[in-house]
Amino acid sequence: MKNLEIEEILYEIADILEIQGVEFKPGTYRKAARNIETLGEDIREFYKKGKLKDIPGVGEHIAKKIDEIIETGKLDYLEKLRKEIPRHLSELLQIQSLGPKKAKILYDKLKIDSLAKLEKALEQHKIQSLEGFGEKSEQDILERLKLMKKGQERMLLGLALPIAKELKSKLEKLKQAKKIVIAGSLRRKKETIGDVDILAVSAHADEIMDYFTSMDDVSKVLAKGPTKSSVLLNSNLQVDLRIVKEDEFGAALQYFTGNKDHSIKTRLLANKLGYKLSEYGLFKGKKRIAGKTEQEIYKKLKMQCPEPEIRENTGEIEAALENKLQKLIPYNSIKGDFHTHSNYSDGSSTMKEISDAALNIGYEYICIADHSKSSRIAHGLDETKLLKKLDEIKELNKSYKKFKILKGAEVDILKNGELDYSDDILKKLDIVLASVHSSFKMPEKEMTERISAALSNKQVDILAHPTSRMFGQRPEINIDLEKIFEVCKKNKIYPEINSTYTRMDLKDTNIRKALEHGLKFCIGTDAHNANQLENIEIGVSQARRGWCGKKDIVNTSSLKELGKFFRKIS
């Protein structure tokens, strides 16, 4: 998708204009960028139809610039703007808490125009004394700089997965390819990915390698050989392709799926049984006794075959040896989504578009949960608007037979622990999601009390994105999760597994902790566009990494069963 590239260019223009002190224009560019961000469709489709101006916030001028980017791959206007400011100054803006105004101060006062210089100044504590900064803000910038650097080394699962899937389907189209499987951390659905490992079986390895290393998307061939090649894609993702023999396929897949500790432990287990396990097979002496599939290898090791998502050596091997691994939630078992936003708040689809898309996927229900009034940036709904929305849902529901739109809201947990709507309003909803969208930096005790207070309101059903982390932008809020889970259990509240790829919140280890408290979860996409309902895959993979079975996830239940889980639904 070109969207990401275009929205980044528009944001950069906005930032540079703001540094230059230009008024209004930055806002216009940001608005357009934001709408492209939540478009959910490939912007090139709009371009082809000559309908770029149908995108909210895209007027004549911006549409022309998008034309230029799509046609030439670059934008003269941005090149010109970049020359007008110090070369690396715009680098600084990648740090979330550093807006254009602050970046300009850093440049004017300390001549900081690159991330390297910023890091140095932070280490020397030169920033806290600047006007408008202070010690806390210095600390904050440092933290975010670290987060950002970490984020750049690896790619988020949600970004890498579609790229890898597209690549896989391209390779699968080759008639020489017999089997193509993605291995490595991507197969384990780890939240960030270092590089992509693909295994293939083919009698014509050279032809596959020729194709692989000359694909359009390849920016650099790192290595090319008869059984292994590595390329760097334009997205900066490294992909390794290995051709293996059919008899060895399962062993190679087991070996390259990892993680490392899991692989080491399985090899040791094999040794104990008098075997040798390698990427070529399981051997007794020189004789291969298994290797074609992973299942036959694990069977010979006298254990269940753990699903890839849990191969992290965090207890799965011991459980598999005792035959105690439960079946993980299947990817196709979701019956509805509890967390979506329509154009009533900051989404870009109408309620009907979302509902039709949900019906199309085969869902039985969808909860449209727009933001509450305090979320101003997200165009939260005041009471009047919310009531109007509920009426519209009632009307819309008349047109569906076995499908239902659930009346929801994602209600802000205010700083004092109160909810953003009164109980009288909340009672009119089927499902109430509560979440933190402000004052992220409270100390642990206060934050835990704040959220616990909100969760003791009988109207709340789901704690949405419980830690409010955002990759590369914001760390987890400070909370005592164990306490929060206790409160959830006591008050019959479901923590959410949020599928937005920049959130993936709760994370896998926290899901396991919550499971120990006997909690069930709701997986929500937090879709801001009908197309984003597909992101549920990320949430399900996260649930699987957290060892959840089907019964642990509320939205594997049918519409009829929902009354068992939500007090306002009968």
Amino acid at 136: K
Rounded Cα distance between 558 and 554, Å, is: 9
Q: Tokens 């939205």 label which residue?
A: 555
Amino acid at 507: K
Amino acid at 264: I
Q: Which range, of 39-47, 286-294, 400-408, 518-526, touches Zn ion by CB under 5 A?
A: 518-526
Q: How far is the CB of 470 from Zn ion (least distance, A)?
A: 10
Q: Which range, of 21-29, 102-110, 178-186, 407-415, touches Zn ion by CB under 5 A?
A: 407-415
Q: Report whether 462 contacts 338 (CB < 8 A).
A: yes
Residue closer to Zn ion by CB (options 187, 465) is 465
Q: How far is the CB of 368 from Zn ion (least distance, A)?
A: 11
Residue closer to Zn ion by CB (options 193, 378) is 378
Task: Return left, alpha or beta for 302; rule: phi > 0 is left, psi -120 to 50 is alpha, else beta.
Answer: left
Residue closer to Zn ion by CB (options 26, 524) is 524
Q: Tokens 């689809």 label which residue?
A: 349
Q: How far is the CB of 192 from Zn ion (least distance, A)?
A: 21
Residue closer to Zn ion by CB (options 15, 410) is 410
Q: How far is the CB of 410 from Zn ion (least distance, A)?
A: 5
**Size, binding site for Zn ion by CB under 5 A:** 3
| Site for Zn ion contains 345 (CB under 5 A) | no
Rounded Cα distance between 478 and 473, Å, is: 15
Rounded Cα distance between 209 and 227, Å, is: 8
| Site for Zn ion contains 138 (CB under 5 A) | no
What own/partner pairs with CB < 8 Å and gap ≥ 24 does 123-131 have? Answer: 130/105, 130/106, 131/105
Residue closer to Zn ion by CB (options 90, 435) is 435
Amino acid at 400: Y
| Site for Zn ion contains 420 (CB under 5 A) | no
Q: Which range, of 45-53, 62-70, 84-92, 526-534, touches Zn ion by CB under 5 A?
A: 526-534
User: Which residue among 309, 412, 496, 526 contacts Zn ion (CB under 5 A)?
Assistant: 526
Q: How far is the CB of 424 from Zn ion (least distance, A)?
A: 23
Extract the tokens encoding 433: 């999601």
Residue closer to Zn ion by CB (options 183, 470) is 470
Q: How far is the CB of 339 from Zn ion (least distance, A)?
A: 6
Residue closer to Zn ion by CB (options 461, 526) is 526
| Site for Zn ion contains 410 (CB under 5 A) | yes
Rounded Cα distance between 170 and 216, Å, is: 11
Point out the residue whose Cβ comes nearest to Zn ion: 526
Amino acid at 399: S
Closest CA to 5 of 91, 68, 87, 60: 68
| Site for Zn ion contains 435 (CB under 5 A) | yes
> Which class for 35: exposed (0-12), middle (13-18), buried (19 or more C-beta within 10 A)?
middle
Residue closer to Zn ion by CB (options 304, 435) is 435
DSSP state for residue 521 in the 8-state scheme: B
The footprint of Zn ion (CB under 5 A) covers: 410, 435, 526
